């Protein structure tokens, strides 16, 4: 067994390190989530349901879903195209392109929101042009979607690139040699090979799209019943000292986070099992 080898295997060292890690993780990472559900349910299930049925909360839920539903396909197409480009071809500027897509992860979401506000707000050069034609993108739902696409665009590509690089192109080239069209090769060889990474990329995109706060708060204006997403709704309720209601909305997003983690574990579990099977058959 590999795990009984190497340094740090003395029983007391083992026990100490594991205990410190577990206790810290539970107190520091897990407790906040448990706390959210405890506070959300402290006034009873009746209050919980009633809060969720509040028209403003319902609108926030629908708006959050709308943002995610539009963001996912856009970033899916971009992520797949970019991953195909940088893993299947060598070209000048490839490295630059790969650094560029890391920008949304490195930049503060508030700065991201501001960039869009400056361009598409009615003072910006595009925004003023649109304003003359009575089109308003900022402080309205299209703006929410635009900044969400910005902050979530690296996820799919980031998941696909290492995997597609590792898998190489031999299967696809074989398919082409056998007379398949490029589109057939992509659908029947590439897609099945990367489907779990693709799914994981989508799950991450979804989680971030539904939970984004900094970027949307710059361009939203947080108008109740109009531009208030769930994450913004949490803040608005907390500012009103309506703490339990804030935790009710927060619990929905916390639940989403738990679902995301479970999905991630399942995908990883499948992946390790597949690798083990391959090793056995090899």
- Binding to other proteins (CB under 8 A) within 193-252 occurs at 204, 207, 210-214, 217-218, 231-232, 234-235, 238, 243, 246-247, 250
> What is the spatial distance between Cα 221 and Cα 117, in angstroms, rounded to a whole number?
11
Among 53, 106, 178, 282, the residue binding other proteins under the rule CB under 8 A is 106
Nearer to other proteins, 3 or 133 (CB): 3
Least distance from other proteins to the Cβ atom of residue 55, Å? 21
Q: Contacts with other proteins: how many residues (CB under 8 A)? A: 101
Q: Which phi-psi region, left, alpha or beta, contains residue 44 (left: φ > 0; alpha: ψ -120 to 50)? A: left
Q: First and final CA of the chain: distance in angstroms?
A: 21
Least distance from other proteins to the Cβ atom of residue 57, Å? 15
Residue with tokens 């940088």: 86
Nearer to other proteins, 35 or 274 (CB): 35
Helices 44-53 and 243-281: crossing angle in degrees, nearest 10, is 90
> Does residue 179 belong to the site contacting other proteins (CB under 8 A)?
no
Instruction: Show contacts with other proteins in window 16-75 (CB under 8 A).
Output: 17-18, 20-22, 24-25, 28-33, 35-36, 39
Question: DSSP characters for 22-86?
Answer: HHHHIIIIIHHHHHHHHHHTTTHHHHHHHHHHSHHHHHHHHHHHHHHHHHHHHHHHHHHHHHHHH
Among 63, 72, 82, 161, the residue binding other proteins under the rule CB under 8 A is 82
């Amino acid at each position: 067994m590999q795990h009984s080898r190497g340094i740090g295997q003395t029983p007391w060292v083992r026990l100490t390190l594991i205990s410190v890690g577990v206790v810290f993780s539970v107190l520091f990472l897990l407790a906040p989530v448990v706390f959210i559900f405890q506070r959300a349910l402290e006034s009873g299930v009746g209050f919980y349901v009633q809060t969720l049925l509040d028209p403003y909360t319902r609108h926030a839920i629908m708006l959050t879903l709308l943002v995610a539903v539009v963001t996912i396909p856009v970033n899916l197409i971009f992520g797949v195209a970019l991953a195909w480009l940088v893993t299947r071809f060598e070209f000048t500027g490839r490295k630059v392109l790969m650094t560029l897509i890391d920008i949304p992860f490195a930049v503060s979401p508030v700065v991201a929101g501001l960039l869009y506000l400056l361009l598409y707000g009615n003072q910006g050069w595009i925004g003023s042009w649109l304003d003359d034609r009575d089109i308003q993108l900022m402080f309205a739902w299209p703006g929410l979607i635009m900044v969400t696409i910005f902050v979530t665009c690296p996820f799919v590509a980031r998941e696909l690139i290492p995997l597609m690089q590792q898998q190489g192109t031999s299967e696809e080239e074989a398919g082409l040699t056998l007379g398949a069209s490029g589109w057939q090769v992509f659908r029947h060889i590439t897609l099945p090979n990367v489907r779990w990474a693709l799914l994981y990329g989508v799950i991450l995109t979804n989680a971030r799209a539904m939970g984004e706060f900094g970027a949307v708060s710059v361009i939203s204006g947080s108008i109740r019943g109009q531009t208030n997403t769930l994450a913004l709704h949490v803040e608005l309720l907390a500012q009103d000292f309506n703490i339990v209601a804030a935790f009710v909305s927060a619990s929905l997003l916390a639940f989403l986070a738990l679902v995301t983690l479970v999905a991630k574990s399942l995908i990883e579990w499948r992946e390790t099992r597949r690798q083990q099977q391959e090793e056995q058959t090899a």
